Structure 1
């Protein structure tokens, strides 16, 4: 009986995050608009006043609440897959860090669980480090959802926001950036490891401006929790995807998991596949307020080499075949 109850708690933990990710922003946007035409119109007005007064908070490090990060449901989410956090080196709290995380996957479940919550005791593994997740700026345009996302320690992924976080005293400030972004979600095919990285150098410039160490982070199994429909290049479906991405910043994709009550049916519940997030060794980066392209290219190359080494060292212990290699795009 207890085992069955535990299984359902884990399913609820995993399912609530998927539903929040997909529908929470739209739901509350429509709800607040609907309430404007009801006797409860004052609730919407009060929230929208708050919304505009609080507009810049996502660009100023967000607004985290530790009780949300320690919410027990994240432990159920962790146990569903399960999600693990592997520490390979110390991150001394007297420095600043740019944690570059890969792959994006469909929903970045490993990053959300390990850095957006204390489900795997991030603060105990890395004492003195305050990690702030950087999310797509359009997420913070949705009422209520923006507050929910910020409560886990998220901010907007733009230069102003990231510069603000890394310029805050004392040291120990860290930003977690999904370098491949939404575009990488289009390559989240189970068993494959394709990264959008070759021309993504903004995170290196950020590290150079602040003298922040670069830290490679890889979540093995991230691409295995959903199936993905991949459209061939130059088809009308693919062109629609690219057009929508340019207009909104999102990469729309068709994905599916298992059914809520049956593993043999299709649904939105992710498959229970192990996710292991490995945090690599920091790469020291000097401070350069106006880094040259040569400096950027040099540290970008060092980073790619370090990430590839991290992948090769840990892939077999994380269930990836020895013949598998990273592909950079």
Structure 2
């Protein structure tokens, strides 16, 4: 399980870098699947891009099924909260309090590969008004 941060205001890295690495089986030597917010599959054209890159929904049942059959996934644990609180003024990462992704990795006996994309937060200036409650 590749665990990457940060989730910038607009996540560009997964589409153009991580997606390419997933298809080329890098850096782990096997194909892996980026998991993304389910709502993104409802956006025309965007959803097709996700499908081409092999993306799957961030959903406990989907991830459990994938890990059980031995698939590798890449997840951004900070999710929407990290995206909404992202700031181009500083590097920061958010972790959910319950760390369910760690428990899933342990339950399925998969390794965690931490990854950090320096500068992801600085690619775009955040639009004010999208703060997470």
User: Smaller-chain TM-score range?
Assistant: 0.7 to 0.9
- Give the alignment's TM-score, normalised by structure 2: 0.83
Q: CA deviation at 1:215?
A: 1.3
- Give the alignment's TM-score, normalised by structure 1: 0.37
Select 1:152's aligned residue among 50, 53, 71.
53
The 1:114/1:144 distance shift into structure 2, 3 A limit, reads: closer
Aligned to 1:197: 95
Matches within 5 A, 1:275-314: none
Aligned to 2:63: 162
Give distance in 2, aligned partners of 1:121 and 1:139: 20
Higher relative contact order structure (alpha carbons within 8 Å, sequence separation ≥ 6): 2
Give distance in 1, aligned partners of 2:31 and 2:87: 32
Select 1:221's aligned residue among 113, 119, 126.
119
Give distance in 2, aligned partners of 1:124 and 1:103: 19
Q: CA deviation at 1:156?
A: 0.3
Aligned to 1:176: 74
Q: Which runs of 5+ in 2 are unaligned?
A: none
Kept in 1: contact 2:23–2:53 (CA 8 A): no
Select 1:209's aligned residue among 107, 110, 114.
107
Give distance in 1, aligned partners of 2:62 and 2:10: 22
SS at match of 2:47: helix
Pairwise CA RMSD? 2.5
What count of residue pairs does the alignment treat as equivalent?
133
Aligned to 2:6: 103
Larger radius of gyration: 1
Kept in 1: contact 2:78–2:96 (CA 8 A): no
Aligned to 1:84: none
Kept in 1: contact 2:77–2:96 (CA 8 A): no
Give distance in 2, aligned partners of 1:164 and 1:134: 13
The 1:221/1:203 distance shift into structure 2, 3 A limit, reads: same
